[in-house]
């Protein structure tokens, strides 16, 4: 998971109110698509010049404008001016290191969320920022680049399935948020699979690389948690908002999204506990195993060192060593050796030392 925690350098030193894109440029050219629908009509088109969407502002139908690519500050600014969006809101859209948040600007509500887009490399998820603006007859969504996260909603609109075409922009906003929260479950599942795999590995054959893996998991969990935790308060805030933009009938759906958010956070916390437990298990089992090994090795050394001393004694070259002249001296020494070893082994066994 990429480290998004401290980007904002390019803004430091600039006066407040300056529109600057903070983040990597991820697409060549911003891509704008519009879906305009109500129960009966439906229209979908790709916009070339940003001005084309201004027409939709006055229509009674629900309009969903989706912008992919944030580096072209001009487009964002023009859209903002046309739809009357607050300058601070535009700043937030452009600054991809913001924290998830919800802001009520009276005639429009602003939502800033994070999604996890699979990266090319194996383990990393890239965190992308998604902004939603809900107005009285429109929803505008901004993404850093094309991610496919909204595809199921698009399908629903195109096929006029479900309640979507019958309800207003607030329900569309709900559907988009729901899709985003749902996408977290995929990430969680991947984490869950990794944890299960590691748990099996821990039981079967704990190798040293497992430590690296546990620590990596732990670090990713820190980032994941940081992106998801504020979501709870965002969705809860949205649900409690006193605003004509959200109809009472949509409240129960928002409550449902809230429940899912809590479930996601719950799972992240459980994962944290599990990973901590795994680390503990690994460390204590490694240390246990190590201790056992060292004990056995030390026992072997401890038995042979005194024996070596004994044979050393009779390796001395004194002229007068009576034992050396004895006929059975050699065998006697062997007897002493075996006896000594035996006593020591018996003692260690009794003490349960190996």
Return the residue of 19, 82, 262, 336 that touches a copy of itself, per CB under 8 A: 262
Three-state secondary structure along 182-245?
A: HHHHHHHHHHHHHHHHHHHHHHHCCCCHHHHHHHHHHHHHHHHHHHHHHHHHHHHHHHHCCCCC
Return the residue of 14, 160, 343, 346 that touches a copy of itself, per CB under 8 A: 14
Our finding on whether 307 is near a copy of itself (CB under 8 A) is yes
Report 162-181 residues binding a copy of itself (CB under 8 A).
Answer: 162-164, 174-175, 178-179
Nearest to 129 by CA among 88, 98, 87: 98
Distance separating alpha carbons of residues 127 and 38, to the nearest angstrom: 33
Return the residue of 139, 140, 153, 246 that touches a copy of itself, per CB under 8 A: 153
138 — alpha (psi -120 to 50), left (phi > 0) or beta?
A: beta
Which one, 49 or 313, has the nearer CB to a copy of itself? 313
Q: Report the interhelical angle of 169-204 vs 209-240 (nearest 10°).
A: 160
Question: Cβ 79 to a copy of itself, closest distance in Å?
Answer: 19
Nearest to 85 by CA among 15, 19, 176: 19
Span near a copy of itself by CB under 8 A; candidates 47-55, 65-73, 128-136, 220-228: 220-228
Nearest to 72 by CA among 32, 34, 112, 30: 30
Return the residue of 96, 128, 141, 183 that touches a copy of itself, per CB under 8 A: 183
Task: Give me the torsion for CA of 130, 134, 138, 142, rounded to 10°.
Answer: -10
Our finding on whether 297 is near a copy of itself (CB under 8 A) is yes
Our finding on whether 2 is near a copy of itself (CB under 8 A) is no
Report 104-123 residues binding a copy of itself (CB under 8 A).
Answer: 105
Which one, 27 or 256, has the nearer CB to a copy of itself? 256
Our finding on whether 339 is near a copy of itself (CB under 8 A) is no
Our finding on whether 84 is near a copy of itself (CB under 8 A) is no
Nearest to 324 by CA among 335, 311, 308, 337: 311
Beta strands, E only, the chain: 31-37, 42-47, 62-68, 101-104, 109-118, 125-134, 138-143
Return the residue of 19, 82, 156, 345 that touches a copy of itself, per CB under 8 A: 156
142 — alpha (psi -120 to 50), left (phi > 0) or beta?
A: beta
Our finding on whether 88 is near a copy of itself (CB under 8 A) is yes
Our finding on whether 302 is near a copy of itself (CB under 8 A) is yes
Return the residue of 51, 84, 328, 335 that touches a copy of itself, per CB under 8 A: 328
Which one, 47 or 76, has the nearer CB to a copy of itself? 76
Return the residue of 284, 335, 342, 343 that touches a copy of itself, per CB under 8 A: 284
């Amino acid at each position: 998971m990429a480290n998004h925690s401290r980007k904002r350098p390019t803004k430091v030193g600039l006066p407040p109110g300056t529109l600057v894109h903070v983040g990597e440029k991820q697409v060549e050219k911003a891509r704008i698509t519009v879906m305009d629908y109500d129960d009966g009509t439906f229209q979908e088109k790709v916009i070339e010049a940003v001005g084309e969407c201004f027409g939709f502002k006055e229509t009674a139908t629900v309009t969903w404008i989706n912008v992919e690519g944030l580096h072209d500050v001009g487009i964002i600014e023009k859209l903002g001016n046309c739809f009357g969006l607050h300058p601070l809101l535009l700043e937030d859209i452009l600054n991809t290191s913001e924290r998830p948040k919800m802001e009520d600007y009276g005639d429009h509500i602003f939502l800033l969320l994070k999604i996890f887009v699979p990266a090319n490399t194996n383990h990393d998820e890239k965190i992308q920022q998604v902004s939603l603006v809900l107005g009285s007859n429109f929803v505008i969504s901004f993404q850093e680049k094309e991610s496919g996260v909204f595809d199921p909603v698009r399908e629903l609109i195109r096929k006029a399935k479900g309640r979507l075409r019958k309800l207003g922009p607030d329900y569309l906003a709900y559907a988009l948020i729901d899709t985003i929260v749902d996408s977290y479950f995929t990430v969680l599942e991947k984490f869950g699979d990794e944890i299960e795999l590691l748990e099996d590995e821990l039981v079967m054959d704990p190798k040293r690389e497992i430590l690296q893996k546990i620590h990596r998991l732990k670090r990713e969990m820190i980032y994941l948690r940081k992106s998801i935790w504020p979501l709870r308060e965002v969705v809860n805030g949205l649900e409690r908002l006193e605003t004509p933009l959200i109809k009472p009938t949509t409240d129960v759906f928002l409550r449902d999204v809230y429940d899912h958010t809590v479930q996601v956070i719950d799972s992240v916390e459980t994962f944290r506990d599990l990973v901590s437990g795994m680390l503990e298990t690994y460390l204590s089992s490694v240390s246990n195993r190590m201790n056992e090994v060292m004990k056995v090795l030390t026992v072997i050394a401890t038995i042979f060192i005194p024996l070596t001393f004994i044979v050393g004694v009779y390796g001395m070259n004194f002229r007068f060593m009576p034992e050396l002249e004895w006929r059975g001296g050699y065998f006697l020494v062997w007897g002493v050796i075996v006896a000594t070893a035996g006593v020591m082994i018996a003692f260690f066994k009794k003490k349960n030392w190996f």
